[in-house]
Amino acid sequence: MIEKKPRRFLLSKWTKTKALLTSDEVKPFIPDTRRFSKPTLKKMLELYKMVYVKPEVGTYGKGVMRVQRLNAGAYKYQTGTTERTFGDYESFHNSIRSITGKKSYLIQKGIHLLKYNKRRFDIRVMVQLSPKREWETTGLIGRVAHPGKIVTNYHSGGTPMDVKPLLTAHLSGSDMNKVIHRLTKLGVSTAKHLHKKYPGIRQIGLDVGFDDSWTPWIIEVNTNPDPFIFNKLKDKSMYRKVMRYRRAAGKH
């Protein structure tokens, strides 16, 4: 009988979220996430006023919607650069359903991301198994959203950037170093926990967004993260390390 190889990649965002919620260390940094349904969307909009609706399986920020409950019972959503507003929940929900179709979607509590030059940003934290088989955070890169868009992904028009100018726009040097240390630690904790449940995983990319209180919210975890985004940085040392570890893990 052929032994089944452990999975290297997890495609379902729901599977990854459920796995991370079993970690006491990581759980506080996971925004409230639930499966999409008509009553759940209404309830989460009552709770948070702004949520993100995203495909359970998908990459590059495709299909992500920013959904809001406005005053006086109105609702609004944005997908790409298109915004639509509705005066009642029924027509609003029907419009969203016309986009989602029969595909499985998730609803995630909306994090009001910090901005850089009036554009939202988050940070990709690259974590890899080292040649010594230890988890290590090998790269941090900022991703700044296109001015008219809601997602920060490079493939959706986002701009990759060194994290330091993004953080120093809001923090002093010593506070910036604390945030970088925190991200590095959170990346390793997340990787270790996922690896326990899914031992085939060799690398992960965390997309971490900050709110005004500097809570590092894990917006998404990718088990097949794009290493080439690090080549967009002027300093190539991070990119070289990421690629070295990637090759050592047998992933070309």
pLDDT tens for each residue of 168-225: 999 988 999 999 999 999 999 999 999 999 999 999 999 999 999 999 999 999 999 9
C-alpha pair distances (Å), 224 with each of 86, 126, 161: 38, 10, 20
CATH number of the domain that 186 lies in?
3.30.470.20
User: What percent of the chain is predicted at pLDDT more than 70?
Assistant: 96
Contact of 131 with 245, CB cutoff 8 Å: yes
Is the model's pLDDT at 62 over the cut of 50?
Answer: yes
Confidence of residue 4 (pLDDT cuts 50, 70, 90): low
Using N-to-C axis directions, what is the helix angle for 38-48 and 89-100, rounded to 10°?
A: 120
Domain boundary among 109, 140, 164: 109
Domain end among 88, 109, 130: 109
Domain co-membership, 189 together with 158: yes
Name the domain boundary from 58, 84, 109: 109
Do 68 and 190 lie in one domain? The reply is no
> What are the tens digits of pLDDT across the range 117-143?
999 999 999 999 999 999 999 999 999
